[in-house]
Structure 1
Amino acid sequence: MAEAEIVAWHVKVGDRIEEDTPLADVMTDKATVEMESPVSGVVREIGGEVGDRIAIGSALAVIEIEGAEFTEQIAAETPSARNEERAVAAGKPAPSKPATAARPEPVEGRAQSLPRAIGGKALASPAVRARAQQLGIDLTAVRTGPGGIVRHEDLDAFLTARAAPAVAAPAAPKAEPKRAAEPLEGAGEQIKVIGLRRRIAENMAASKRHIPHFTYVDECDVTDLERWRGEFNDQRGGRPKLTLLPFLITAICRTLPEFPMINARYDDEANVVTRYTSVHLGMATQTPAGLMVPVIRDAQNLTLWALAAEIGRLAAAAREGTAKSEELSGSTLTITSLGPLGGIATTPVINRPEVAIIGPNKIVERPVYVEGDRLEKRKLMNISISCDHRVVDGWDAASFVQAVKRRIEAPLLMLAG
């Protein structure tokens, strides 16, 4: 990752704090981390407002400790300006500026290296990336400090080296902050979209923008499965109560080896589909902060009871905000269920870069014709699946759901393997 978002501040400028005092909550991926102060002192500056994104490795806060002079500013400056400031603060004459520069001036205290790249893109914050585009700079050609993240001072050094004779490059004009549209008459409270809610919005928009979705829905008779579930729960002892979800996950895991393209991830930049033999099942979970997707690792190896325990543990961790970053990433297939609110059918949005998402809907009782043309009250449930049509064909999606349906409607065969 190249950046993190500030989601809450626990201190303000002027506060006197002790070592290990919580400074701020920052979000990386979907995990929120509490950052603590490494020293005691007075908060002199903070690195941004709530909702701002800052580059990994940049200053989060500036703390003045007893006996130390406050000489550094958070604002982006050129290496030469920083050196001049340090020299003046130390009572020494500022170094003279050379008329020309043959190579980039290294940022003080940082070894120079080429930027790291992920998916062919250099690591940089959106502000740095926008400035580089405006100046016509290829970020992969800019040398950086340790960590391989391109920062504003790296762009300044690159411009200095490229100039002949060297001319101070004008700083990129700061973009005017976007203002919200004027609310209509009678509007209520305006809420800034930050943190997890902004991450959800961005992920869903990217998924719908990049992935051609299609959804298939089929109906399952879960009468026998519900009877078996009741009997298991009557004999559970101290084990967790079984919901329908562990049974459905078991049926899915038993079926996936026949349909390997469903349990896959698509890197659309490299144009590569990776199939997985292990089922790392994402479980969409509603939390007070918004939707999160904790991951059940190697779900294919877990028993019904083990699945029930892991579902309960991960759901609790997500709702309490204690889920670890590794528990919120790396899924190969996602299941999303609204339980009793599941509705008749759903069209879930794929959790990119996966290629499918499965959505069981609520169970309803309806009269159904059974053998001998007699009516019988049965428990029915629809299963929805949304797929990436670039990878999964409609025939494959329908065949997969019908194979899951056969296992759900014959619980003994499903549990036998």
Structure 2
Amino acid sequence: MSKFTFKLPDIGEGITEAEIATWRVAVGDTVKEDQPLVDVLTEKAAVEIPSPFAGKVLELKGSPGDFVPVGSVMVVLEVAGEGAVEEPAAAAPAAPVQPAAVAKEKPAKPVATPAPTAAAVVQPAPSAPVPLVPRSEGEKPLATPAVRQRARDLGIQLSYVPGSGPAGHITHADLDAFIARKPVSGAAVSNARQKREGVEQFKVIGLRRKIAEAMQRSKQRIPHFAYVEEVDVTELEALRTHLNNNRKPDQTKLTLLPFLVLALVRAVPDHPEVNGTFDDEAGIVHHPSALHIGIAAQTPNGLVVPVIRHAETLDLWQAAAEIKRLAEAARSGKASREELSGSSITISSLGPMGGIVSTPVINAPEVAIVGVNKMVERPMVRNGQIVTRMMMNLSSSFDHRIVDGWNAAEFIQHIKRLFENPATLFID
């Protein structure tokens, strides 16, 4: 047997370091060729790093949250053959790196190593029910936010779950093994009537850290100007319902967002100052002719903003299909770097939980973000009569260095007119 030293490869676009987000393996695991070893986070995207060889994990270098330079040792594997082999830092991949899988160039293998059989891979085997003993008082279970959320959903107290990851981190595999053991102690399952004590702590790393840093930079550097307007969407909602009831089988069901995309396409040419980015260090504002609309999307790992490119070329159904495609790609972690960057204005929506008013944070370096709030049926006065109307607020924020308050109000009023007279959305 020999040792194989695997180093963090060059993953392209001038990236010099990456942050360890999640280890997919633990010391002692047997891994297959191309099996994911670790998820790392760059400035552009999350990247899954696979193993170039089959073997046994001897060492893991670094913990979640650590930044590691390209070319530094990540994993030491035991592989078949003789002698120690080091993995040179791989050249940048020719194709764009996808968040779900990183393209790599494999060095010549030191030995011919067949992939391990199914029997050789370590799998948690179900065992007889065993009594569980919680961690000692004051000992905090270590786990990523995703693992903690899953444990909460399952009603499992992490204090009772053994961790097999680095430094005892609890992984998804540990939760699977815990469930398979069928513990006899009822204390492991949360009981709402039990007294709850203690504080869970976790390090802010990975995508959550990137989100935190981006929000902080935006609020520190951009003087936000918020503007909220009430919009009567009764006719628009009637049109949306009618179109959905008569759509073709291959057409995506319409939400409010495709209509807002069309409204931006109609309004932005008259208000070009809201569509663009501001390089405040160079003192240059970029106002593109194209309209690249970011759609803020919540994913299991946090907030991301996939981008509808050249929205001006799309009709209503095409916009709906593209929104759905990008949202699904973002939530599954398969959106590419190109799909997650380059927006010139962003839409923010909390859907049915949209509330009455929000103050969305600008997606820097953009200069405007349009927020959609919840639609509610309310009594309104029209022509001296009290009638029931479907109402909704638009809550938007603007970079006050670039967009004056009057211009921001004119822009939102333009969208309001389009929404309240939805036929005008389709008139060139």
Task: Give yes or no for TM over 0.5.
Answer: yes
Whole-Å separation in 1 of the counterparts to 2:256 and 2:45? 28
Match of 2:310 in 1: 298
Whole-Å separation in 2 of the counterparts to 1:414 and 1:56? 50
Whole-Å separation in 2 of the counterparts to 1:229 and 1:265? 32
Q: Residue 67 of structure 1: CA displacement?
A: 4.1
* Higher mean C-alpha displacement, 23-32 vs 323-332: 23-32
User: Alignment partner for residue 261 of structure 2, among 233, 236, 249?
Assistant: 249
Query: Which string of whole-angstrom CA distances, capped at 9 and with x for unpartnered residues, describes residues 284-316 of structure 1?
Result: 111111111111111121111111111111111
Contact 1:207 1:352 in 2 (8 A): yes
User: Alignment partner for residue 408 of structure 2, among 375, 378, 397?
Assistant: 397
Match of 1:4 in 2: 18
Call closer, same or farther: CA 1:399–1:292 in 2, change over 3 Å: same
Whole-Å separation in 1 of the counterparts to 2:198 and 2:312? 50
User: Alignment partner for residue 205 of structure 2, among 194, 197, 203?
Assistant: 194
Q: Which amino acid aligns with 2:365?
A: P
Query: Which string of whole-angstrom CA distances, capped at 9 and with x for unpartnered residues, describes residues 214-242 of structure 1?
Result: 10111111111111111111210211111
Matched, 1:330 2:342: yes
User: Alignment partner for residue 39 of structure 1, among 49, 53, 57?
Assistant: 53
Q: Residue 16 of structure 1: CA displacement?
A: 4.4
* Higher mean C-alpha displacement, 277-286 vs 22-31: 22-31
Contact 1:30 1:196 in 2 (8 A): no
Whole-Å separation in 1 of the counterparts to 2:29 and 2:387? 71
SS of residue matched to 2:417: helix
Call closer, same or farther: CA 1:390–1:2 in 2, change over 3 Å: farther
Q: Residue 28 of structure 1: CA displacement?
A: 2.3
Q: Residue 43 of structure 1: CA displacement?
A: 3.6
Q: Which amino acid aligns with 2:25?
A: V
Q: Which amino acid aligns with 1:53?
A: F
Match of 1:368 in 2: 380
Call closer, same or farther: CA 1:300–1:187 in 2, change over 3 Å: farther
Whole-Å separation in 2 of the counterparts to 1:190 and 1:214? 35
Whole-Å separation in 2 of the counterparts to 1:388 and 1:198? 24
Q: Residue 52 of structure 1: CA displacement?
A: 1.1
Match of 1:56 in 2: 70
User: Alignment partner for residue 407 of structure 1, among 391, 405, 418?
Assistant: 418
Give the 4+ runs in structure 1 shifted more than 6 A. none
Task: Please say which structure displays the higher CA radius of gyration.
Answer: 1
Q: How does 1:344-383 map to 2 (within 5 A)?
A: 344-371=356-383, 373-383=384-394
Give the total of aligned pairs: 308
User: Normalized against structure 1, the TM-score is what?
Assistant: 0.69
Match of 1:286 in 2: 298
SS of residue matched to 1:26: strand
Q: Which amino acid aligns with 2:201?
A: Q
Contact 1:29 1:325 in 2 (8 A): no
* Higher mean C-alpha displacement, 291-300 vs 55-64: 55-64
Whole-Å separation in 2 of the counterparts to 1:213 and 1:190? 32
User: Alignment partner for residue 209 of structure 1, among 183, 198, 220?
Assistant: 220
Whole-Å separation in 2 of the counterparts to 1:60 and 1:327? 28
Contact 1:196 1:289 in 2 (8 A): yes
Call closer, same or farther: CA 1:187–1:397 in 2, change over 3 Å: farther
Q: How does 1:13-412 map to 2 (within 5 A)?
A: 13-29=27-43, 31-70=45-84, 186-238=197-249, 239-371=251-383, 373-412=384-423
Call closer, same or farther: CA 1:69–1:301 in 2, change over 3 Å: same
Call closer, same or farther: CA 1:17–1:338 in 2, change over 3 Å: closer
Whole-Å separation in 1 of the counterparts to 2:348 and 2:54? 46
Aligned-residue Cα RMSD (Å) equals: 2.3
SS of residue matched to 1:48: coil
Q: Which amino acid aligns with 1:231?
A: H
Query: Which string of whole-angstrom CA distances, capped at 9 and with x for unpartnered residues, describes residues 343-398 of structure 1?
Result: 11110001111111110111122222223x12221111111110111111111110
Contact 1:30 1:292 in 2 (8 A): no
Q: Which amino acid aligns with 2:202?
A: I
SS of residue matched to 1:261: helix
Query: Which string of whole-angstrom CA distances, capped at 9 and with x for unpartnered residues, describes residues 116-160 of structure 1?
Result: xxxxxxxxxxxxxxxxxxxxxxxxxxxxxxxxxxxxxxxxxxxxx
User: Normalized against structure 2, the TM-score is what?
Assistant: 0.68
Q: Which amino acid aligns with 2:46?
A: T
Q: Residue 21 of structure 1: CA displacement?
A: 2.4
Q: Residue 206 of structure 1: CA displacement?
A: 1.0
Call closer, same or farther: CA 1:240–1:71 in 2, change over 3 Å: closer
> Which structure 1 segments of 5+ residues have no match?
75-107, 110-184
Q: Residue 44 of structure 1: CA displacement?
A: 4.1
Match of 2:125 in 1: none
Q: Which amino acid aligns with 1:301?
A: T
SS of residue matched to 1:391: coil
Identical-pair percentage: 53
SS of residue matched to 1:204: helix
Whole-Å separation in 2 of the counterparts to 1:54 and 1:365? 53
